[in-house]
Amino acid sequence: MKILVTNDDGIYAKGIDALVNHLIDKGHDIYVVAPDRERSASGQAITLHHPLRTTKVLKWDKASAWAVDGTPTDCVKLGLSELIDEEVDLVISGINLGPNLGTDVLYSGTVSAAIEGAVSGVPAIAVSLAGTEKLDFSYSAKIACHYAELMQKNKVPKDTLVNINVPTEKEDKIKGIKYTTLGKVRYNNPFQKREDPRGRPYYWLSGEVNQDISNEKSDVYAVSENYVSICPIHFDFTNYRLLEIIEKWK
């Protein structure tokens, strides 16, 4: 299988390294097109007002790799249209450092890169390790590879997009896999107000994460209970229920 790998943590991040090495070990043809530095929370942003520059990266013996001074979405666009001469079977974005659950997928550079693959007609996976400390990416890489091969075997539609979140526990401690819906994630006190040395106020985005675990079908609940979450998502934002209502308006 020919796979384009990208991320939002940058081409030198540990997560993408673990993913690429595992995919190579499984015999897949890998092309890496990833940001030259961290681009977390960049969403679906694309670069319009300055040119994109690429640098060939000799990091993996059996993978062609480029670092791009743009967003994760830029990387997928550029990879599929310019850098890779062959037709790509799948896009995998990750392995992200930290979760991409619920409504946070709207901000995630990791998920947005996968969305760009699906928009471009290539099935895609976004994969995240839902933690920030004592991380072992090996099981997440195994899960991503397994679902990549399942998607190829089952000949999924070209707009297929799967968001995977893996708990940080060791493989033998994980309870299993759940197929989920997007949950809800909110942030309490999202901004901290501070003052610079000249007495002028500024605001720093932070906040405490408030995850709604009341919905047992959600990705948030699954990960909180130590299950791998497999959540199919789509870039069609149409609210069909509301559409049926407003069509009746006069």
Q: Give the annotated binding-site residues for a divalent metal cation.
A: 8-9, 40, 96
Measured distance CA(15)–CA(23) in Å, rounded: 13
User: In this structure, what token pair is assigned to residue 212?
Assistant: 């709604």
Q: What is the DSSP string of 159-196?
A: T-EEEEEE-SS-GGG--EEEE-B--EEEEES-EEEEE-
Q: Which residue numbers belong to the known binding site?
A: 8-9, 40, 96
User: What DSSP state is assigned to residue 235?
Assistant: S
Q: What is the DSSP string of 86-155?
A: SPPSEEEEEEEES---GGGGGT-HHHHHHHHHHHTT--EEEEEES-SSS---HHHHHHHHHHHHHHHHTT
Q: Which position has the token pair 């893996």?
A: 166
Q: Which position has the token pair 């069609």?
A: 236
User: In this structure, what token pair is assigned to residue 113?
Assistant: 């890169």
User: In this structure, what token pair is assigned to residue 202?
Assistant: 């500024």
